[in-house]
Structure 1
Amino acid sequence: MLPAAKGAQGIFYGKHNFSFPAHMNYGIYFIERILNFKEKRALVNGATGEEITFGQIVREVVNVSASLVELGVRKGDLVAVVSENRSEVVTAILAAMCAGASVTLINSAYTAGEFIHTASITKPKYMFLSPTGYTKHQETLRKLTFVSKICLFGDSSWKEIISYNDFANKEAECTNFVDYYGRVEVALVLYSSGTTGLPKGAKVTHANLIAAAQQHDFCPDKSALTLAPLCNTFGLTTTLKALVNGKTVIHLSRFKQELFLEAIQKYKVQSLMVAPPIVVLLSKSPLVDNHDLRSVEIIYSGGAPLDEGVIKEVEKRLPNLRVLQGYGSTETTGPITEETVVDHRQGSIGKVVQGIVIKVVDIESRKVLGPGEPGEVCVNGVVLFDGYIGQPKSDYFDDDGFYRTGDIAYYDQDGYFFIIDRLKELIKYKAWQVSPAEIEGVLLKHPAVKDAGVIGAPDPLSGELPTAFVVKQPGAEVTENDIIEFVSLEVSPWKRLRGGVRFVSEIPKTGSGKILRRVLREMLKAKSKI
């Protein structure tokens, strides 16, 4: 592996030599890789203790893939998976890919409206659901006329619904896997997080996934625990990457603080793949002191920026571990930049990863910027997606073929990158641009604050006023004025909370941990009408 290098005019390259199989099918590639780990535990349900070995994954994928072909699934068909985290999600995805289908993952927690919007983007003919997902969306599914067959994880008591166990237990020979003969085809349709609007369907190719599997492994040969939903990019790509490299992955379908800590202790988990709110919890929760977490060596945080103060507090509280950050997106099949144990700089989100090319450009002129100059991050490379379904590439790519991320960052002389904020999320107070993430980092330093989210409240004179939504620590007594004064002592005058503080029970977030600021704006708007 070659180190990342700086090219001409401030463009950074993540160096790597990738190997692509002639068949160009990620499902087959995955199976070929994990055959080396047959008897080893692959996936463990941290709540129930149910587990599956790598060898069992291979057999299940072969059986389910053959059953799908027999059912009528053909190359180019679209198969949807709707489920909380469970091992069948992984095997169903791989089986559908091996059968030649493209796969889309729909969040089982969606409302009926969100479910219909997302499913209508891809119009899947076939759908896998967990019993929980089916029970919740049973009525909505009747409205999706494009879905012809439904398969239920486990056993099905509904006559019209296919049992996944029947598929998985039907012994088949490995003769049905689809070869793309070197062509690049769409493997997954993943959905953008929807932090600023309804999700868009991003087309991720088999080549994207095969290249992503060969990127640097932040924690080789160490067991991992994941909480992130497999229906979002962070949860899916980190889990697939861990498995394809032979790691044991402990998974939980939902977050419960006590269960999470008990799973780490019981399985002696060595690495955590989590969103920032979990790192904040580890820095503040008194329950941490009641569990043995000494096995954890690495926390890998992704999905949203993590405040440096939180990192220091966690590493002080659990001195055996290191907290590493990665910055990535659905559109790049995972990380864009990443920290490593041996390559860390305070406040940075690391250097460009393999398979990625980065340039930072001026928002207005689109000129490539030098060190220390904040601008929009634009990316290219072998892991870059193939655009959004039904939307012209010119809306999201520049003239050189770089994807415009909408994220604001700068890099230093040594190529370390520092994220400032989302372009669409920057608060415009008079002539100043205010980063919500910066103020959120300050708020989390307050001992009475458990969680926080910041947006701009519309103001006719100033444009927008920085406004905070705050979740109090249990039993904490703190006032709006206490919070405002605390922030005022920590930030420049234009960054003060002139829009005030709203105390709430929770901060709305995506499964990957990104704050849903559009929901906060809706909450603020609703409050103003009362």
Structure 2
Amino acid sequence: MFAEQIKNGIIYGDQNFFVPPHLNIGAFVLEKILGHNDRVALINGETEEQITYREMVQNIVNIAAALTDLGIKIGDVVAIASENRLEYFVTSIAVFCCGGISTFFNNAYTKNELIHAVNISKPKFIFLSGEVFKKQYETLKSINIIQKFILYDDKPTSNDCLNYRDLSERHVDINSYKPIDFKGTNQTCMVLYTSGTTGSAKGAKVTHLNLIVACQQKLTVSSELTPLSIAPWSSTMGQLLTLQNIYDGTKLVFLPKYIERLYIKTIEKYKIGYLAIAPPIVVMLCKSTIVNEYDISSVKILLVGGAPTYTKTIRQVRSRFPHIKHVLQGYGITEASGAVCREMELAHKEGSVGQIVLGMIIKVVDPETNKIVGVGEPGEVRISGPTIFDGYIGKDKKDDFDEEGFYKTGDIAYYDKEGYFFIVDRIKEIIKYKAWQVAPSELEGLLLQHPAVKEAGVTGAPDILAGELPTAFVVKQPGFQVTKQEIIAYITEQVAPWKRLRGGVIFVDEIPKTPSGKILRRKLRALLPKQSPQNIPASKL
């Protein structure tokens, strides 16, 4: 009962979890997957390569022992810069086992983004795919921080390069290998980079305890359903959901990146049962013309995270794909090591992001007064518990945590009398039109219902008189014709006066997003013209 979970306005998730005395997430996962034996662990849906759990365990201990021999010590950072591939989690778990810290650079990083990330975490070694090596080796070398480059694909080209295969093929006895024992002391095991939707990315320090508890958070779906993953494994969503699947012994199909036809074809080929995706992919599926060429009736569950998914979109999914039994939402952030709330198959409510997960503690407060608010009252979500990260590299924790030790998420939400949470928007993304607040995500949800709109992003255009004017960036659906005024009128009919698109509509070829699917509003703001696209007299505002 929810009444038993809330005390003095603070909501407590289940606090019944196991913490091993060695406090090493690598050892924790290794112990579990040893029991998965010859079950298939991962399948690359593009190349059809696969690895069993038994093979995975052997490769993990081989790589871990090799890293120790090469000089990796407790606290040393090892980076991975690669597309999703079979070797990815073998590498990261091996780093955990030998006491190192794993960090992940997205293979699509620009030169400046990569330099920024390297300077945050300062990795000693880096594992690279051939694609990233060709594109970024000279940049990485010039930073003069990384000592060894370990190549997944290419043969070594210089003395500072090693080959992954040479390290993985050495044989280490599984039964005699011993991961580092931290003897009850909690250490950083991972550095994840915040999405940077409102500014430069920061390095979040995730601990062994964080991940040990996160692995025990019950997966949303039945274990007999095969999942398909396209989230970059450099992202929080990609890391945590995949690690949970590996811990549970699931057969996971993955793709290196999203390509519409390949994605849909892979669903048919492997009879995928559930999809963990960001809202833009949900919209694309609803509007896809390719999907009719394939049989995707095996899909029973959609797990959607990264941003709110609106009720109308969910209804569109159910209308077009009646075989989908559940469209479940979750709310998670990097700083919580994944999930904060999550819907379950037998516990979900339309429009919500679910109930509090294992280990989490939440309070909802008025961001101006810091006072706890009650049922149905929107406020800032603040979180505590064993999955909360240990702060950002090089930043004082007091800037991001309140006096009671709760992390200030910057997300506005409310909960109902049954403990279901509903996300409103982010504090930093709320548009301030005069004295009114406008949630960009609400307008985006409405825009996506228009048949001529393929993608949409909303931000505030600076205005001397009003503060900010809601402005829409729109990608047109191929084959449809629509004018800016038609879209403005469409929104005007559905919203209160202060939510109208007074900043106008700007047509673009694509909406800038993070790898996990969140809209980069700072990049939208950079696209705004110097003067508002729609100059409205003050008397009309």
Same fold by TM-score, threshold 0.5 exceeded? yes
- AA matched with 1:372: G
Which residue of 1 is the match for residue 111 of structure 2? 112
TM-score (norm: length of structure 1):
0.98
Which residue of 2 is the match for residue 450 of structure 1? 454
- Quote the Cα distance in structure 1 between the aligned partners of 2:65 and 2:71: 10
- AA matched with 2:227: A
- Quote the Cα distance in structure 1 between the aligned partners of 2:95 and 2:357: 29
- The one of 347, 353, 358 equivalent to 1:343 is 347
Q: Per-residue deviation at 1:6?
A: 3.3
- The one of 265, 270, 292 equivalent to 2:295 is 292
Q: Secondary structure at the match of 1:424?
A: helix
- Quote the Cα distance in structure 1 between the aligned partners of 2:257 and 2:210: 28
Which residue of 2 is the match for residue 398 of structure 1? 402
Encode CA deviations 1:455-503: one digit per residue, 9 max, x unaligned.
Answer: 0000000000000000111111000001000000111110000000011
Q: Is the 8 A contact 1:5 1:12 kept in 2?
A: no
- The one of 475, 482, 489 equivalent to 1:485 is 489
Q: Is the 8 A contact 2:130 2:154 kept in 1?
A: no
- Quote the Cα distance in structure 2 between the aligned partners of 1:75 and 1:527: 54
- Quote the Cα distance in structure 2 between the aligned partners of 1:455 and 1:5: 40
Q: Per-residue deviation at 1:176?
A: 4.8
Q: Determine what percentage of the aligned residue pairs are the same residue.
A: 49
- The one of 444, 449, 463 equivalent to 1:440 is 444
Mapping of residues 451-530 of structure 1, within 5 Å: 451-525=455-529
Q: Secondary structure at the match of 1:207?
A: helix
Mapping of residues 22-421 of structure 1, within 5 Å: 22-160=21-159, 161-174=161-174, 175-221=177-223, 222-321=225-324, 322-421=326-425
Encode CA deviations 1:143-187: one digit per residue, 9 max, x unaligned.
Answer: 221211110113424133100010111112343521111111111
- Quote the Cα distance in structure 1 between the aligned partners of 2:334 and 2:62: 30
Task: Judge which range, 130-139 or 323-332, deviates more.
Answer: 130-139
- Quote the Cα distance in structure 2 between the aligned partners of 1:19 and 1:4: 25
Q: Is the 8 A contact 2:472 2:503 kept in 1?
A: yes
Q: Per-residue deviation at 1:220?
A: 3.0
Gaps of 5+ in 1: none
Task: Judge which range, 172-181 or 365-374, deviates more.
Answer: 172-181
Q: Per-residue deviation at 1:526?
A: 6.8
- Quote the Cα distance in structure 2 between the aligned partners of 1:156 and 1:78: 23
**Alpha-carbon spacing, 1:381–1:28, altered in 2? closer, same or farther (3 Å):** same
Q: Is the 8 A contact 2:2 2:418 kept in 1?
A: no
Q: Per-residue deviation at 1:525?
A: 4.6
Task: Judge which range, 233-242 or 315-324, deviates more.
Answer: 315-324
Q: Is the 8 A contact 1:69 1:176 kept in 2?
A: no
Q: Per-residue deviation at 1:89?
A: 1.1
- AA matched with 2:54: G
Encode CA deviations 1:262-311: one digit per residue, 9 max, x unaligned.
Answer: 00000001111111111111111121221111111111111111111111
Gaps of 5+ in 2: 534-541
Q: Is the 8 A contact 1:5 1:14 kept in 2?
A: no
- Quote the Cα distance in structure 1 between the aligned partners of 2:4 and 2:284: 36
- Quote the Cα distance in structure 2 between the aligned partners of 1:17 and 1:6: 13
Q: Is the 8 A contact 1:229 1:235 kept in 2?
A: yes
Q: Secondary structure at the match of 1:286?
A: coil
Q: Per-residue deviation at 1:432?
A: 0.2
Q: Per-residue deviation at 1:505?
A: 0.9
Which residue of 1 is the match for residue 536 of structure 2? none
- Quote the Cα distance in structure 2 between the aligned partners of 1:80 and 1:282: 34
Q: Secondary structure at the match of 2:376?
A: coil
TM-score (norm: length of structure 2):
0.96
Task: Judge which range, 470-479 or 343-352, deviates more.
Answer: 343-352
Q: Per-residue deviation at 1:142?
A: 1.8
Q: Per-residue deviation at 1:24?
A: 1.0
Q: Is the 8 A contact 1:195 1:516 kept in 2?
A: yes
**Alpha-carbon spacing, 1:250–1:384, altered in 2? closer, same or farther (3 Å):** same
Q: Per-residue deviation at 1:8?
A: 2.3
- AA matched with 2:219: D
Q: Is the 8 A contact 2:2 2:419 kept in 1?
A: no
Q: Secondary structure at the match of 1:266?
A: helix
Q: Is the 8 A contact 2:191 2:205 kept in 1?
A: yes
- Quote the Cα distance in structure 2 between the aligned partners of 1:116 and 1:407: 29
Q: Secondary structure at the match of 1:143?
A: helix
Q: Per-residue deviation at 1:243?
A: 1.2
Encode CA deviations 1:375-396: one digit per residue, 9 max, x unaligned.
Answer: 1000001111111111111000
Q: Is the 8 A contact 1:232 1:511 kept in 2?
A: yes
Q: Secondary structure at the match of 1:293?
A: coil
Q: Secondary structure at the match of 2:432?
A: strand
Encode CA deviations 1:375-422: one digit per residue, 9 max, x unaligned.
Answer: 100000111111111111100000000000000111112211111100
Q: Is the 8 A contact 1:96 1:102 kept in 2?
A: yes
- Quote the Cα distance in structure 1 between the aligned partners of 2:16 and 2:284: 39
Q: Is the 8 A contact 1:196 1:518 kept in 2?
A: yes
- AA matched with 1:164: Y
Q: Secondary structure at the match of 1:33?
A: helix
- Quote the Cα distance in structure 1 between the aligned partners of 2:264 and 2:409: 35
Q: Secondary structure at the match of 1:520?
A: helix
Q: Which runs of 4+ in 1 moved over 4 A?
A: 2-5, 525-529
Q: Is the 8 A contact 1:4 1:353 kept in 2?
A: no
Q: Is the 8 A contact 1:98 1:178 kept in 2?
A: yes
- Quote the Cα distance in structure 2 between the aligned partners of 1:349 and 1:147: 41
Task: Judge which range, 151-160 or 385-394, deviates more.
Answer: 151-160
**Alpha-carbon spacing, 1:375–1:185, altered in 2? closer, same or farther (3 Å):** same
Q: Per-residue deviation at 1:9?
A: 2.7
Q: Secondary structure at the match of 2:429?
A: coil
- Quote the Cα distance in structure 2 between the aligned partners of 1:4 and 1:244: 32
